[in-house]
Chain A
Amino acid sequence: MIENLSDALVLFLNVYNMIALAGGIAIGVIVGAIPGMTSTMAVALTLPFTFTLPPVTGILLLLGVYKGGVYGGSIPAILVKTPGTPAASCSVLDGYPLAQKGQAGRALDIALYASCFADLVSNLSLILLVGYLAQLVTSFGPPENFTLIFFSLTIIASVSGDSLLRGFISAGAGLLLATVGLDLIYGTDRFTFGNTDLLGGLAFIPLLIGLFAIPEILNGYAKRGETGKIAADPSGSRATFADFRYCFRSILRGSLIGVVLGAIPGIGGAPSAFVSYSEAMRRSPNRKNFGKGELEGVAAAEAGNNGVAGSTMIPLLALGIPGDVITAVILGAFMVHGLRPGPMLFEQNIDLIYALFIGISISSLFLLIIGKAAIHMFKHIASIPRSYLYPVVMVLCVFGAYAVNNSFFDIYVMVGFGIVGFLMMRMHIPSAPFLIAFILGPMLEDSFRQSLLMSQGSLTIFMRSWITWVFWSLTILSVVLMVRRHLAGRSPDVALPKVQEEKRDV
């Protein structure tokens, strides 16, 4: 063990590894901050450069890009309501209102602190719990996934704003549009109307940019009388240690949610951010302030999506199973160097694994330093006049949407949903439920149908293991709590904070 560790230190401790890790994070933050350029694309683009690097250096570079990208997405989400990556879409909900209040710096700071803390927790979980969590992963099949995602859908209630009915309608539209494309099970066409672009379904990123960024841009033209800066200079506000302590419980909870959801193949950062956000909201005494600029909301969302950044490596390293596209690319990097992740790697190349672990554990610190520098750099965005900022963001979105699939079709989708999103904004239909449903809808449908295929049509498969029971119970619990809270909130005689206090005593 000691011998392995010292071998690993020798393997890790060279200046190239440090440069690769720091450089990767810097590239990731910048690319993640560009709307449409996801961390997945950044990792795929970096991959060919790693062909010629030593394995540890190359993989650390990729991991750096990935981690930087996950954080970087939050910067434009907060500053210009344009999530740089899908996982950052939840950070928009409270980050942008905070920026509008002139607290962009505070929001960016807390996003960074939450991200780094969650990243650290996730990395430590990877290192310490890889064996246990890998066990958990192997017991997740389609029925378990179905119950997990069904539970996750209850968060739609938290992001529906002032009317649940409108939130549900928005979610319904998201679910429906997610069915466009080839049917997974039978390979038949659904709502494709003979169009080859629609065969692959609607891409998520153009839709995301369309629904968040473009309505805000259009709205800027309606209210051009009141122009000015988008928000005060972010350097004017900072997150204090008191802020961090105030959000700490949500950050910790979000990190743990991220760790567990990240370890399960195929879930990813966006659902984790939303679950973490919804949990933070459910437990906060300032529940009503969520969605209107609540610092804890930003912290919870960012903790949730960065919490997956370490644990996604668990199924890859322990079982050789890539849980998402990014780990699939990283798997490619391993294979290019003749390494095959899986149990054998732990036996044959334990020094390499430890070297990676050492690199991964200091990546959180690098992220903090580089993220701080990035905030310093990007804060100038907030001082650009709206008349220039909005159009430039629009063109940036165009390039980003094109880059997703190198297709004009995605730009049409983005503009089309931008106009739809503007109408939704005016009709007070929240767009967050739409997005969550669009992400989770296919996972829900696929896992449901896969389960039924496995059981030859018997519904009892959804009760087959303790995991399904846990998620069913959580679902029922959260629905009951939701109903009770809303009924309690209805009565005008009872002040809300008081209700909260009583509940906590129970």
Chain B
Amino acid sequence: MTVRPVSRPHALILIINPFQPEGLSLKTVNKRDFVLGLVVCALALFVLFGILPWAVKTPKVIPNLALSPTFWPRIILVSMAGLSALLAIQAYYSGIKSQDGDPVESEEQPFDMSDLRVIPTALLMVLFCAALKPFGVVLPSIAMLLGMILMHGRGEWPKAIGVSVATVLILYMFFRYVAKVPVPLGPLNGLL
């Protein structure tokens, strides 16, 4: 196998990421990785300097630095900051110029318009979590199941309601009487 001469970005990438796998040409590394690298790096540094000092408590006496409760989190955060910075640098250099010196546009956007449709579903899940404390697991589950079926756009009302109520009740019975897990009923307490 002969080693071919490489252009400057190529060489840089070889240094910072010798494992660049075969399937991916340099052109496909894009803005996505650049932003991701910067965001993760910033987050890691923020946790390292902003949160870790007060959120991880250390005992008064530690015989050895490597035994400190902060030792592992520190190592992990420093590596993450370093690796994500590398990702950003790599994406930056390869994103501006390709091997041939042509500007390269990002080929793939991580998000597109169809992802907007995910937002109501995700919101429904969050609402569900908020409803657990006051209403128990059973009623919010029926509501979420119904909502999710209808949001998918194919369910008809009567069938959707039937499936929601039946599924949740069967699950409740299974967990309560077979698995012996007292799933909270909320307002239904005493009825089932």
* Direct contact, A vs B (beta carbon within 8 Å): yes
Interface presence of A241 (CB below 8 A): no
Interface presence of A52 (CB below 8 A): no
For chain B residues 90-115, which have a beta carbon within 8 Å of chain A?
Answer: 90, 110-111, 114-115
From residue A32, how far is it (CB to closest CB) to chain B in Å? 13
A385 to B159, CA, bound (A): 13
Contact A168 B148 (CB under 8 A): no
Contact A169 B182 (CB under 8 A): no
For residue B121, which residue of chain A has the nearest CB? A221
Interface presence of B58 (CB below 8 A): yes
Chain A positions 376 through 390: 1 when the CB is less than 8 Å from some CB of chain B, otherwise 0: 000000000111101
A111 to B31, CA, bound (A): 40
A168 to B78, CA, bound (A): 13
- Given the known inter-chain contacts A399-B183, A415-B129, please indicate yes or no for A165 contacting B86, CB distance below 8 A: yes
Chain A positions 148 through 169: 1 when the CB is less than 8 Å from some CB of chain B, otherwise 0: 0000000001000011111011
Interface presence of B38 (CB below 8 A): no
Chain B positions 36 through 51: 1 when the CB is less than 8 Å from some CB of chain A, otherwise 0: 1000100010010001
Interface presence of A394 (CB below 8 A): yes
Contact B128 A222 (CB under 8 A): no
Contact B21 A486 (CB under 8 A): yes
List residues of chain B with CB within 8 A of the CB of A190. Answer: 55-57, 69, 73
A377 to B51, CA, bound (A): 50
Contact A45 B80 (CB under 8 A): no
- Summed over the interface, the residue pairs from A and B with CB atoms below 8 Å come to a total of 212
Contact B19 A395 (CB under 8 A): no
Interface presence of A428 (CB below 8 A): yes
List residues of chain A with CB within 8 A of the CB of B44. Answer: 172
Interface presence of A434 (CB below 8 A): no
From residue A238, how far is it (CB to closest CB) to chain B in Å? 30
For chain B residues 69-93, which have a beta carbon within 8 Å of chain A?
Answer: 69, 72-73, 76-77, 79-80, 83-84, 86-87, 90
A385 to B153, CA, bound (A): 12
Question: A-B pairs with the 4 shortest C-beta distances?
Answer: A489-B22, A391-B148, A387-B152, A387-B154
Contact A163 B80 (CB under 8 A): no
List residues of chain A with CB within 8 A of the CB of B72. Answer: 175, 179, 445
Can you list 17 residue pairs at the A/B interface with Cβ under 8 Å? A45-B179, A157-B19, A165-B87, A176-B47, A183-B69, A188-B56, A217-B121, A387-B152, A391-B149, A392-B145, A395-B144, A395-B145, A398-B128, A398-B144, A399-B137, A399-B181, A415-B128
Contact A222 B183 (CB under 8 A): no
Contact B125 A449 (CB under 8 A): no
Contact B83 A411 (CB under 8 A): no
From residue B2, how far is it (CB to closest CB) to chain A in Å? 8
Interface presence of B7 (CB below 8 A): no
- Given the known inter-chain contacts A394-B144, A426-B111, please indicate yes or no for A191 contacting B51, CB distance below 8 A: yes
Contact A490 B122 (CB under 8 A): no
List residues of chain B with CB within 8 A of the CB of A173. Answer: 80
Contact A165 B148 (CB under 8 A): no
Contact B181 A165 (CB under 8 A): no
Interface presence of A193 (CB below 8 A): yes
Interface presence of B4 (CB below 8 A): yes
Interface presence of B15 (CB below 8 A): no
List residues of chain B with CB within 8 A of the CB of A31. Answer: 179
- Total interface residues on A, CB under 8 Å, equals 83
A188 to B67, CA, bound (A): 13
A347 to B58, CA, bound (A): 49
For residue A499, which residue of chain B has the nearest CB? B1
Contact A452 B67 (CB under 8 A): yes
Contact A162 B118 (CB under 8 A): no
Contact A288 B23 (CB under 8 A): yes
A490 to B149, CA, bound (A): 46
List residues of chain B with CB within 8 A of the CB of A399. Answer: 137, 141, 171-172, 175, 181, 183
* B interface residues, Cβ below 8 angstroms from A: 1-2, 4, 17-24, 32-33, 36, 40, 44, 47, 51, 55-59, 63-64, 66-67, 69, 72-73, 76-77, 79-80, 83-84, 86-87, 90, 110-111, 114-115, 117-118, 120-122, 125-126, 128-129, 132-133, 137, 141, 144-145, 148-149, 151-155, 163-164, 167-168, 171-172, 175, 179-183
- Given the known inter-chain contacts A166-B33, A188-B69, please indicate yes or no for A222 contacting B80, CB distance below 8 A: no
User: Main secondary structure on chain B at its contact with chain A?
Assistant: helix
List residues of chain A with CB within 8 A of the CB of B32. Answer: 427-428
Contact A490 B66 (CB under 8 A): no
Other 14 A-B pairs with CB < 8 A, given A189-B57, A391-B152: A163-B24, A165-B86, A169-B87, A186-B59, A190-B69, A191-B55, A217-B121, A227-B154, A388-B163, A391-B145, A395-B145, A422-B118, A457-B63, A486-B18
List residues of chain B with CB within 8 A of the CB of A426. Answer: 110-111, 115
A428 to B163, CA, bound (A): 35
From residue B52, how far is it (CB to closest CB) to chain A in Å? 8
List residues of chain A with CB within 8 A of the CB of B4. Answer: 491, 493
Contact A224 B63 (CB under 8 A): no
Residue among B19, B133, B182 with most chain A CB within 10 A = B19
Instruction: Give the residue of A214, A419, A422, A449 whose beta carbon is less than 8 angstroms from that of B67.
Output: A449
Could you say which of A68-76, A324-332, A400-408 contacts chain B? A400-408
Contact A411 B132 (CB under 8 A): yes
Instruction: Give the residue of A165, A222, A411 whose beta carbon is less than 8 angstroms from that of B114.
Output: A222
A426 to B115, CA, bound (A): 10
Contact A169 B163 (CB under 8 A): no
For chain A residues 208-265, which have a beta carbon within 8 Å of chain B?
Answer: 214, 217-225, 227
